[in-house]
């Protein structure tokens, strides 16, 4: 029972990742020019290119060119496309035996697929990757939630290119999840064979894994070796077309195409194996004005996530219009303001709703994003078949905000303009820190608008500027009150567990709001294993209704990505996914 991949909404950027533009000609066409260099502006420096230790989408943009997946998303169609695998996997329901109720996925890797030293890429490498992720001593547990139903991988000893993945239960995105993990070379990342004797079946059992972690130091030794900084900054063992050749902090990260890369002759028939540019340079330029200057001076060829005002102004300049093309696909994801529901001042949903009613989202889109956004009311996209159409967008209502605050016991007892309440015996004013990133103009302007509107309701918003990395760290540790952020998504059905389940509310988890409800957990657990689409869609709608009622986030809008590309690149593949343009497809 294979299901076609459908677009979804939920953001991971953790971060700022919905119309979309496809290329105007055959997207698999290889470029005909030699020595093609692509220079891309990033808004921040990178710290790691390790595909299982990264934290930002910028890092993923780079290592996706160095490493590969069994299946990868085609940026034009947003469907999964074979990359290491020769074709889509055969999928069978398991009706008897140890894994009855689960599914079996049959893969075959390309015969041509080899590591850089010529060693064939096989199912043993995939099995090793899964073991590494489930190693309880590794910092990779955030990935395990997507594949915790995998129980065993059997490799065909007569042809190790063939292997079968066995799962113990269904999962709403099981095919997509097992197919879209980067494969690591066993012989290069574990030359001592530290992981060889451990069975995946034991490592995916939490109790057995914990016991092994206490009794066998090989797991800790492997984790120490893998997490060595050299595997984040210097040594990379990927099967992809590009290799790192230069990394100067604050200046450039440069990749060059490998000589005699195994996939060179397969790109004409396989979109995920296209690799046109000879060299790709990622240049971190935090300041927007400096980035626009670099674009005009010919120092960069591509800008994504351009500031809205700068983008519109650039479109009006004749010198730029003649040299560059401009694109605005709506992104997969949304902006939001997170509220820490564990904070005593924000623990009452009436207070959170009162804060949400201070937001004039239409005005925010118009004045801070130049109108380049589409409103959202929850974490699921309106294009999803299970989007709850009974829910209504919230409009600014200061009177209702005051009413809700009064109902929750917040009144201005000392007439200083800020509502207050006695909490744990102390008079507490509703003064809330709002964390925002100073290098994101939208967040700067939006937080200022919210501060002024909230003041009318008696809420004191204290804006606190903080580096985006530190902001992300505080969200993961739940060390904040309110914070402006964005969430990105993959083009697959939604899995609400990462952002809304109690299991993800622990420190380090991505349930940033700390919303933890038994009723919601049960629905999330059920929707993840329900194959009946009618029943599943109803569960999705109920999940949305609970989140809407609890108001852990103020949901704002899906931003349009603002992309500027040098006209020298012909028919670029533009997408609402990831960076917004497929770098490997660029050609002159």
Q: Residue 320 above 80 pLDDT?
A: yes
Closest C-alpha among 264, 375, 314 to residue 41: 314
Q: 354 and 408 in contact (C-beta within 8 Å)? A: yes
Residue 27 has pLDDT above 60, yes or no: no
C-alpha distances out from residue 542 to 127, 171, 442, Å: 37, 19, 32
Q: What digits encode the pLDDT tens for the residues 412-452?
A: 999 999 999 999 999 999 999 999 999 888 999 999 999 99
Interatomic CA distance for residues 43 and 499, integer angstroms: 25
Distance (Å, whole) CA 178 – CA 197: 22
Q: Is the pLDDT confidence value at 25 over 70? A: no
Question: Is the confidence at residue 295, as pLDDT, over 90?
Answer: yes
pLDDT of residue 359: 98
Tell which residue, 290, 117, 255, 135, has the closest CA to residue 188: 117
Give the CA distances from residue 368 to residues 213, 306, 448, 468, in Å, rounded to whole numbers and listed in that order.
50, 13, 10, 19
Alpha helices in 140-244 (DSSP H): 141-144, 174-179, 186-189, 200-203, 206-215, 217-226, 230-233
Q: What is the mean pLDDT of residues 541-552?
A: 98
* Share above pLDDT 70 across residues of the chain, in percent, rounded to a whole number: 94
Which domains are seen in the chain, by residue range? 26-67+239-331+560-588 (3.40.190.10), 85-217 (3.90.76.10), 333-559 (3.10.105.10)
For residues 257 and 148, the model is more confident at 257
Distance CA 10, CA 496 (A): 8
- E strand intervals along 308-425: 324-327, 333-339, 373-375, 420-423
**Nearest-angstrom CA–CA distance, 555 and 361:** 9
Name the strand (E) or helix (H) holding 465.
strand 460-465
Q: What is the pLDDT of residue 19?
A: 32
The reported pLDDT for the residue numbered 488 is 80
At residue 216, the pLDDT reads: 97
Q: State yes or no: pLDDT of 9 exceeds 70.
A: no
Buried/exposed 386-410: b ≥16 CB within 10 Å, e otherwise:
bbbeeeeebebbbeebbebbeebeb
């Amino acid at each position: 029972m294979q299901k076609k991949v459908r677009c979804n909404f939920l953001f991971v950027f953790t971060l700022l990742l919905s119309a979309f533009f496809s290329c105007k000609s055959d997207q698999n066409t290889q470029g005909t020019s030699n020595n093609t260099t692509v220079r891309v502006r990033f808004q921040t420096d990178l710290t790691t290119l390790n595909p299982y230790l990264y934290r930002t989408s910028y890092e993923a943009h780079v290592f996706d060119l160095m490493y590969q997946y069994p299946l990868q998303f085609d940026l034009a169609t947003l469907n999964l496309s074979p990359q290491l695998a020769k074709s889509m996997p055969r999928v069978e329901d398991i009706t008897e035996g140890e894994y009855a109720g689960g599914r079996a996925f049959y893969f075959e890797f390309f015969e041509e697929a080899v590591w850089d030293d010529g060693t064939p890429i096989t199912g043993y490498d995939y099995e090793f990757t899964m073991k590494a992720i489930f190693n309880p001593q590794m910092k990779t547990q955030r990935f395990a939630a997507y594949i915790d139903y995998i129980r065993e991988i059997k490799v065909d000893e007569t042809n190790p290119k063939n292997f079968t993945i066995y799962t113990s239960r269904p999962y709403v995105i099981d095919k997509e999840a097992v197919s879209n993990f980067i494969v690591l070379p066993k012989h290069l990342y574990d030359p001592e064979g530290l992981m060889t004797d451990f069975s995946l079946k034991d490592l995916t059992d939490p109790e057995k894994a914990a016991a092994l972690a206490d009794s066998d130091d090989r797991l800790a030794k492997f984790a120490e070796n893998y997490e060595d900084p050299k595997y984040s900054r210097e040594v990379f063992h990927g099967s992809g077309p590009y290799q790192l050749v230069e990394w100067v902090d604050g200046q450039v990260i440069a990749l060059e195409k490998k000589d005699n890369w195994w996939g060179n002759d397969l790109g004409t028939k396989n979109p995920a194996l296209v690799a046109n540019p000879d060299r790709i340079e990622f240049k971190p330029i935090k300041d927007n004005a400096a980035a626009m200057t670099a674009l005009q001076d010919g120092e960069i060829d591509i800008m994504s996530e351009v500031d809205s005002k700068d983008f519109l102004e650039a479109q009006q300049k004749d010198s730029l219009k003649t040299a560059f093309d401009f694109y605005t696909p709506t992104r997969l994801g949304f902006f939001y303001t997170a509220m820490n529901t564990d904070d005593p001042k924000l623990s009452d949903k009436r207070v959170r709703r009162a804060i949400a009613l201070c937001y004039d989202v239409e005005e925010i889109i118009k004045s801070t994003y130049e109108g380049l956004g589409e409103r959202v009311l929850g974490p699921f996209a309106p294009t999803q078949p299970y989007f709850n159409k009974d829910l209504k967008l919230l409009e600014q209502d200061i009177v209702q905000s005051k009413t809700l605050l009064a109902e929750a016991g917040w009144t201005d007892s000392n007439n200083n303009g800020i509502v207050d309440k006695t909490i744990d015996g102390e008079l507490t004013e509703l003064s809330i820190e709002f964390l925002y990133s100073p290098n994101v103009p939208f967040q700067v302007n939006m937080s200022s608008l919210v501060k002024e509107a909230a003041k009318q309701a008696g809420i004191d918003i204290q804006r606190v500027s903080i580096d985006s990395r530190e902001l992300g760290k505080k969200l993961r540790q739940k060390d904040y009150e309110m914070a402006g952020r964005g969430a990105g998504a993959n083009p697959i059905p939604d899995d609400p567990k990462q952002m809304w389940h109690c299991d993800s509310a622990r420190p380090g988890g991505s349930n940033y709001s700390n919303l933890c409800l038994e009723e919601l957990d049960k629905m999330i657990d059920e929707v993840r294993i329900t194959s009946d689409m009618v029943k599943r869609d109803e569960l999705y709608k109920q999940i949305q209704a609970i989140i809407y009622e609890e108001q852990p986030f103020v949901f704002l809008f899906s931003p349009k990505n603002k992309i500027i590309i040098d006209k020298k690149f012909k028919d670029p593949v533009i997408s609402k996914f990831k960076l917004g343009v497929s770098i490997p497809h660029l050609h002159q």
